[in-house]
Every structure is written in structure tokens, then in C-alpha cells.
Structure 1
Amino acid sequence: MQEGRAGAERRGVTARVAFALVALHLLLCAALFDPKIHTGGDSVTYMLLAESLLRAGDGYSTQIAPGPPEVHTKYPPGYPALLAPMVAAFGRNFVALKLLSVLLTAASTALFVVYARSGRTRASWLLLALAFAVCPGVIDYSRWMLSEAAFLLVTLLALWQLERDRPDARLGPAFWMALLASVATFYVRSIGALLLAATSLAYLTRREWRKFMVHGVVGAGLTIPWIVRSRVHAGTTSSYLEEFLLANIYAPEAGRLGVWGMTERFATNAWVYATRELPRALAGSDSTWATSLPVAVVAVAVALLALLGLVYALRHRPGAPAYYLTLSCASIFLFQTSVADVRYLVVLMPLVLLYAADGAAVAAKFAGAWRGWLEPRLPALVAGALAVLALGAHAARIPENLDMIAAYRAGDRYAGYHPAVASFFEASEWVGENTPRDASVTVRKPRLFHALTGRRALIYPFSTDRGKVLESVRRTDYVLVDALYQTTRVYLLPALRQDEGYFELIYATDADPTNFVLRVRNAATAPAP
């Protein structure tokens, strides 16, 4: 009877804490919301794929480049499937579509409150839950139409169910829920395969043979269809695997890396993530605090504590969370340094916070006479310090963000954008209003440009072979020369200058830096589908 009352009281406390922290999370999401379209291509690609799912017989494809529709194989359909009902209801209303991410991070906050409670003191649990609820990296990705929020939620669901799964031979509801959630992570982002691998490894090391076999067979059976589809249509199981070995995806002619090159990349990326990207996750991706030395020092300390906690877990209680974090960090440290970004850390922040707290408890064991006092308190102090850092960073940037929202509501569509981005948008809008609907355009950001204009778009080759670049450009009717990327200056402009007679300047933006629109004379346009 007493155990029943204690359990009910515990659940009641957990529910009240979850409710309060979700409310706080939503308040911060509202204060830091960005109503504008994300300038990356991934965001609009998810929207286009959601539209594809809504069209009968479309076959999960995109129609961005000149020519027939292209079967899409890079992004699995999980997030577009979640987005599709919103697209059906609101069309291309980006503000409305972003609300899905807000709901997903709010649900993740509630789930973290439940997941983090096991095995921790009440103070440590409460402050860890607070640190996650106000985590700037997570809140930043609540305002973008990207897969991070969905991936975060299904990952937490899988980890929570794995924690509930008893270490015996019985295949109970928690086992099946964890398996299905892990498969869902794969269909949201391909790197979710690492969670499936980590769970299989955990069953293997614990000698839970039945679970190992069932998890492996069912997990493989549910993921193979997407892998086979990708192989059939793209010739590879994942385009990311091809990109791993390239020295630089923005300079393919630099070739591939060997063992020593990959080792150097691992070390470089580990430092980049600890000193540049983790500060952005702890203080905000666009916060000036993230570039300050004190926050960098805090981030390095958090990284070291998380590493200590992870190593301790791998030695004393290895399980799927520890294996998953290890595999994920190895993966992002071996990937392209040129695309290292906080987004890859955001989905790992629940485990980073938990292992940092565990690492603090391990570190306290070496505190000598202070051990007895520090060991139960240091995890809470670390979590509390991170929560204070996050709230301080939010307080510093909320006023500016509210000014941006006010300017946007007053009619400034480019409020808060970098001038180079605003100039690109201005040029894109001009193309959308002043060119034929069946026109095609060479542009550095074809997916974003296509979503803005409805025109077919093609990116130029990243090649110093000017003839190759010109051949590609002449397949389109227009060229938008942007001021966003170095690649435009390195690859596109030299080719255009080599044969200026092929091109006619028809528009230049008023905004600085100037973007140019050129008409391609005698374009060899690909036939329409």
C-alpha cells in the first residue's frame, strides 16, 4: 500500500515538474521564435518532400533541377511524413509549419523529465531537467523546419523505453516500443542506424541472446526497404557514406583522405565541437555569448566531464545510451570539418547533460576530504550552472529577437537576415516576378531558390574546369550570381568571365552586397518533363 502511494506521489511530482518546465520551454520558444524561412536548403527540401508525399503517385521525389522529377534518396521520409499534414492544412505558411518543431521539442522536454529521474537525487534531477528545458541549442531548433526536433523526440522515446526494458529474456512492451522508436529514428535521419547498432551491441555484451537476435532481425527487416530503395535509385546505400572520405565536399577535386587524414580530421573536429559548437549549444547558435572565452571554457569543462561520465559508464554499466553517444561522436568527428555544426550536437544534448552530471559525480570521488560533501551535490551544481548560463544567454538575446519579430510583423520580410542573405532573397524575388514560369536558373542554393520562386534551379559544379562549369550553366536560362559563398567566386565567376559573350546582365540588387541576374544567350535548356 505504502509503495503504491509512494509511486503515485512520485508520478505526480514528475508530472507537475514536466508541466512547469514545458510551460517555461514554450515561453522561451515564443520569445526566441523566428518567423522567417531558414536559409539552408534542408528546410525547404523537407517541405518539398512533404508535398511529394501528398501527391498521389509522386514516388517521394523532388522537381528542383531542369528535367524530369528526381527520386529522392538522401533524406528518409520520417520527418516529411510528420510535416505532410501541416503542409496539407497550411500550405507554404512557414510560420505555421514551424509550430510542429515547437511541439516536438516541448514533448522532448516532458520526456526528458521522465527519463532523467532514474538513479539521481531530486536536486540533480530537477536541475538537469531545467537545464534541458532551457537549453539554447534545443530551443534554437524549435524554430526551424528541420528534422532535429523530431529526431530528438524519437531518440528520447527509444532511450526511455530501453531503460524500462528489464534485463531478462522476456520480450515485453518496453522492448518492442524501444525497437520501433529506434527504427523511427532511422526513418527520421539515417544516423539513427547508430542507435539500432548501439542497442544490438548492448544486448550482445549483456548476453541477452534472444533480444539480440530479435532486435537485429526485426530492426534490419524494417530498415532494409529504405536501404534497398536508395541503392537501386542512387547506386549507394547512403550519400553520406560517399561524403565521409572526401577531403572537402566543397572541393571534390581535392580527392579523398587516407587513414592519417581521417585521424587528423577526428582530432580537429573534436576540438571544433568542444570549443565552437558546444558553446553554441549551451548559449545559443546566434548568441554573442557563444563566442566568448568564458563560455568556451565552460564548454570544454562540460565536454571533459561528459567524457569522464561516458568512460565510467562504458567500464561499469555499459548500455545502449553509452554506446550510442560513443558511436555518434565518432561519426560526427569523422565527418566533414567544413560542415561541422551545432545541429549535430543538439540531438545529443540529453546524453551530454546526463553524462556531464555523472562525470561530476565521478570527479567528486577524487576530492579527498571533500568527497562526502561534493559527491551528492556536484552533479546538481553542474546542472544548475548550465541552466543559469542558458537563462543568462536567453536574457541577453531575447530583446533583439523581439525587435526582429516586431520589424517582421511591420512588413520587413528581411528583418534579422545578414545583408548578403537579404540581397540573395531580393534577387530571387525579382527572378520569380520577371521570368517565365518554365525558366531554369543556375544558382548556389537551388533548393531554397526553387521554394522562393517556383523556378527550376541547378547548382554549378564545384570544379576549376571552366568548360565543365560553362557546360552546366548553359543548360539553364539564367544565372544568379550571389555574394553568399566563396564557391561562387572560386568556381562560377571565373567560368562566366571566360566567355562573357554568353551572358547578358539583366538585374542587379540595390542591397549591398550586390547580387546579379544574368540571361544565358543560346541556352541549351534541358527538355521539360
Structure 2
Amino acid sequence: MNNRTPNSPERTQSVRPYIAAIAAVCAALFAYTFKPTLDMNGDTSQYYIYATSLAQGEGYTELGTPGHPASNGFPPGYPLLMAPLRVLTDSIVAQKIWNGLMLFGAAALLFLFLRRVVPQSLALTAVIVASLNYRVLQFATIMMSETSYLLFTALAIYLLYLFDRSAENRKWWRNPYFYLLILTAGYGYMIRTQGITLIAGITLWLLCVRKWRTAIGFVAGFLLTTLPWAVRNRLAGLGGSRYLDQLLAVNVWQPEQGTVSLGEMIDRGLKTLQMLITKAIPNTVTPYLKVDYDAVSTFGEWAVGLTLIALILFGFWRIRRYFWFFAAYSAAVLGIICLWSAPSGNRYITTLVPLLEIGLTIGVCTLIEMGLRKRFGAKSAFSPLWLLIPAALLAGPRLAAVAEESRKPMPPQLAGFIDAAETVRRRLPAQTVVCSRKPSVFYVYAQCHVCNFRYTEDDESLIRGLVDSEVDYVVLDQMGYAATGRYLYPAICKHPELFEVAGAFRVPPTYLLRFDRKTAALKFGSK
């Protein structure tokens, strides 16, 4: 059986000019939108801390916690990729440049796959359009795991093609591409738990092409790749994944609201699906379309969203033999997002966006080509490269907004927070324990022990938590996080005698408060 699509003859010309063009586009876009400072979302700092722990030979641990206990807070895949560079330098900029190289690698691998199933000019156009997406570039430059996961997703897709193409020549268990595919997809899962959707997409495709035993072998191989991590967590007494608790929570940031019922989860999933169709996908795949995520979805938004999805699926259909992989993988990603408890907007479709952009580009180009051939005959060939002009013009404003945001000076609230951390690093012992709303970010600049406060409206319980964590100082910031105003600030106001101002930084001020732990322990006890 010939696994090649009928409209895609074997390419014999060099791919170097195409790869060079992709490299030039990726480099220019990455440099244009590059953000040199540490992003304050907390996850970036946590990845950096884990990479530092690995680089120092301490394993996968919480460096900011006394005793450096083992952790499974995030999957280890991305910190493992960061660790070799972290051995050489502590530069955050260097890690971000490494992310940029992985973005180029993902784009190049997607092109190498697409050129085998569609004309090369269309493959190049689709990859460049995907590279123009502002959301993909945002995450590439803030040291998050999305870009590395995208790299391994692209590698898995290319290996899937190589395995499929060589299936006639050898049995599946003798095919080296089969084992490389297992390792690549398994590592993608170790980068982001969302990678289970990649496993689902590959497995369903194998079933669709009647490779039953291969599908069983692939799933078994995947389970083996994740076994060492599961055994390590069991031996360290770390229990299950934190994601299950977050999945079942009514609100991740307000744990007092409890867990959802089955009916509530279904209702939440349907609302999220509506948001994805009418808001997130149009707003991200066609980034010039602005939407209001808080407003009720209109008929026009439904029409636009469903039309875009139809065009994307039509583009996937043009890929022929691999349609079911792309469709199943996309559906699995959207399905996982629908289960999530936190408002997501277009946050969690970031890793899927390049594939959606590719499907949309191929679908639109195919429709144009069909229309021109029907109207003018076969002699009127349409070059997909012409689509790059409107794509660049339409993507330009959002890219400019990202670039402008990346170059803004740090707000005083954030600068004060960092000033407080650097002051702790200069003036206090490394064993000092500081409580803050963003402990991982604080650790990067303070290099001391850190913790968070309990998310509870019970002020006595919150203070007992500070006692239990042996807190010496508390940071009261004004960065706008709801938990600070809801939980920490009221507790401080009710018990001002326990919190002495040790320093105030910038305006509006960030306060570093000395916590009277002995008095608090006598007054409230612990636990």
C-alpha cells in the first residue's frame, strides 16, 4: 500500500531554501516580540527553580522550601530541557533564546511533514502563517513549557509519517521509528500533562488505518515511558497529580467553594466549549478578530466560529491519510480544556493553535484554488505564497501590541516586589523564610526559603499556617491578585501587632513585614 497522498509527488529538490526562509521568519518575529524580563505569572519561575535544582544535582526538588523536598508540582520534561543550559549560566535571557530555537525547530519539523502531503509552497505558507500567531510568540518568549511541547508534538507528527511510510518494509516492532515515536510522544506528556491528547490522537489514527497491534504496542510503550516518573513519585511519597484536584475544584483560587458535582462539571464543560467555539478560536486563529470573553455569544460569533472550524477540518481533510490524527488530536485537546475548572480564555489552546492555523491556511488555499480552476480552467495556477501578504497585514497589529507590551517598563508594583526580594537576598540569611503571593518569583530574586499563605478567610487558620511554615517575613504586595486582598490583607488588619513594617518599596508600596512568630504561636497555636 502506498502511504503517500496522490497529489504529492516525491520531493527531490533541496529543502534548505525553505528551511532558511522559516528560520529567517522565526528569528525576525522572535526578536520583534522578545520579552527580556522574567514574566510574573509564577509558572515561569517554578520551571526555572526546577531546572536550577537539576543543574545543581539536587534532583527535582523545591529549592525554596527548607530541606529541599522532592516535588511533582509540574511534569519534569521542560526543566530537564532547561537544565543543561542552566549548568552553564543563570541567565533568564539565555533560556528564552533556547525557547526561540525550539520554536524554529517545531516550525521546521511541521514543514518537513507537510511538504510530503501537500505542495511545498502550500506547506511553507501554512507554517509561516502559523509562526505569525501572536499567542504562540507570546509563550515562546516568556519561558513556558508550551514551546517545548510544540517541538515534541511536531517531532511526533513527523515520526508518525516516517513510521507510516516505512511500514511496508518491516514489521512494526522492528521499525526504529515506532520506538522513536513512543519516546517522543511520551516525553511530550512529561512536558505537559495535556500531552495525553497526543497519545489519544496517535492511537486513534493507528486504529483508523487498521494497525490494531501497533496501537496496543504504542499504548503499552507509552505507559512504560511514564513508569519511572510514577515510581519516583510513589517512592517519594508524593501521591497523585495536583491536576486532578484542580480539575474537580469549583474554583482553583477559592478552594473553600469545594468540588463540583457531575452535573456541574457537564454544565461547565458545555459553557467552556461554547467559549472555545465562539470566542477563543476566532480570537486566536484569526487574531485580528477581537471578542469580549465576558459577553454572551452572539449569532454572528457562532457563525464565524463554526465557519472557521469547518475550514480547519477541510484543511485537515486535504492532508488525506492523516486527517483522523489531526481531527482526533484537536478534539482531544478541546475536550480536556472543557473539563478545566479555571477560566481559560485562549490560554490552553496555545499548543494547538499552530495546527489550527495550518488547517485553516490549507482549507482556504484549497477553496481559492478550486474556485479559480472552476472559473478559469486548469491553466490558472494559484500560488499559496500570495496568502502571506494578507496574513502578515492582518497579524501585524496584534504582533505590534505584543512587541509594545514586551518593551514596557516594569510597573512599580512589580518593581517593588522585586526590590523587596533583592533586599532580602542582600541583608538576610539564606535560611530566612518569606511568605508571599508569588513565592517562586520571590525565590528567583531572593534566593531564600519561601512559601505561600493559606487561601482561607479564617484569619486564625491563615496565621497558624504562617507559624507552621516558620515564616520570618511576609510580603504584602499590590500587584492586584485577588487572594492577597481576600485572605492575607484582612488577616494582617485584624492582627497588626503580629506584623511590623521592615521596609516599603516603590509607590504604590510593597511592604516587607516582620512576622512575630513566637507571639502568634502563643496566641493561636499551630495546625
- 2:357 maps to 353
What is residue 98 of structure 2 aligned with on the other side? 100
One-letter amino acid matched to 1:28? L
Question: In 1, distance between residues paired with 2:424 and 2:303?
Answer: 46
**How far apart in 1 are the matches of 2:111 and 2:510?**
48
Partner residue of 1:320? 325
Contact 2:233 2:239 in 1 (8 A): yes
Match of residue 444 from structure 2: 451
Matches for 1:192-207 after TM superposition, within 5 Å: 192-207=195-210
Residues 232-241 or 142-151, more deviating: 232-241
Q: How does 1:220-231 map to 2 (within 5 A)?
A: 220-231=223-234
The 5 A counterparts of 1:234-253 are 236-253=239-256
TM-score, normalising length from structure 2?
A: 0.83
Shift of 1:138: 2.1
Tell me by how many angstroms 1:452 deviates. Answer: 0.9
* Amino acid in structure 1 at the alignment position of 2:511: F
Which 10-residue stretch deviates more, 105-114 or 268-277? 268-277
Conserved in 2, the CA contact under 8 Å of 1:464 and 1:490?
Answer: yes
Counterpart residue number, 2:4: none
Q: Following the alignment from structure 2 to structure 1, what is the Cα–Cα distance between the partners of residues 290 and 69?
A: 40
Give unpaired runs (5+ residues) of structure 1.
1-5, 405-414
Tell me: CA distance 1:110–1:70, structure 2 relative to 1, closer, same or farther (3 Å): same
Secondary structure of the corresponding residue to residue 13 of structure 2: helix
Structure 1 stretch displaced more, 304-313 or 220-229: 304-313
CA shift, 1:258, in A, is 1.7
* TM-score, normalised with respect to structure 1: 0.83
The 5-angstrom pairing of residues 218-297 of structure 1 reads: 218-233=221-236, 236-274=239-277, 277-278=280-281, 281-282=284-285, 291=290
2:525 alignment partner in structure 1: none
The whole-number CA distance in structure 1 between the counterparts of 2:310 and 2:266 is 19
Identify the range of structure 1 (315-324 vs 500-509) with the bigger mean alpha-carbon deviation: 315-324
Deviation at 1:261, TM superposition (A): 1.6
Corresponding residue for 2:134?
A: 136
Letter of the 2:193 partner, please give it.
S
Paired letter, 2:356 = V
Aligned to 1:347, the other structure's residue is in SS state: coil
Contact 1:200–1:216, Cα closer than 8 Å, also in 2: yes
Aligned pairs for 1:383-398 within 5 A: 385-395=390-400, 398=403
Aligned partner of 1:61 in structure 2 is 61
2:441 partner amino acid: L
Q: Does the CA-based 8 Å contact 2:277-2:306 persist in structure 1?
A: yes
Question: How far apart are 1:504 and its partner, in Å?
Answer: 0.9
Question: In structure 2, how many angstroms separate the alpha carbons of the residues matched to 1:362 and 1:270?
Answer: 28
Give the 3-state SS of the residue equivalent to 1:102 in structure 2: helix
Hey, what does 1:89 align to over in structure 2? 88
- Residues 328 and 521 (structure 1), Cα distance of their counterparts in 2 relative to 1, 3 Å cut: same
Q: What is the alpha-carbon distance in structure 2 between the residues aligned to residue 300 and residue 128 of structure 1?
A: 24
Q: Please, which of 184, 188, 191 is the counterpart of residue 188 of structure 1?
A: 191
Q: State the alpha-carbon separation in 2 of the partners of residues 395 and 54 from structure 1.
A: 36
Question: 1:26 aligned to 2:24?
Answer: no
Alpha-carbon contact 1:265-1:337 (below 8 Å) kept: no
Quick check: 303-312 or 501-510, which moved more? Answer: 303-312
Alpha-carbon distance between aligned partners in 1 of 2:104 and 2:241, rounded to the nearest angstrom: 31
Partner Cα distance (1:506, 1:418) in 2? 22
Cα distance, 1:150 vs structure 2:
0.9
**Relative to structure 2, which stretch is displaced further, 309-318 or 94-103?**
309-318
Letter in 2 for 1:241: L
Say which of 456, 480, 484 aligns to 1:488. Answer: 484
Q: How many residues get paired? A: 495
What is the CA deviation profile of residues 478-521 of structure 1, one whole-angstrom value per residue up to 9, with x for unaligned ones?
11011120111101111112221111112222322x22111111
- Tell me the distance in 1 between the aligned counterparts of 2:433 and 2:92: 24
Alpha-carbon distance between aligned partners in 2 of 1:325 and 1:434, rounded to the nearest angstrom:
51
Shift of the alpha carbon at 1:88? Answer: 0.9
SS of the equivalent of 1:141 reads helix
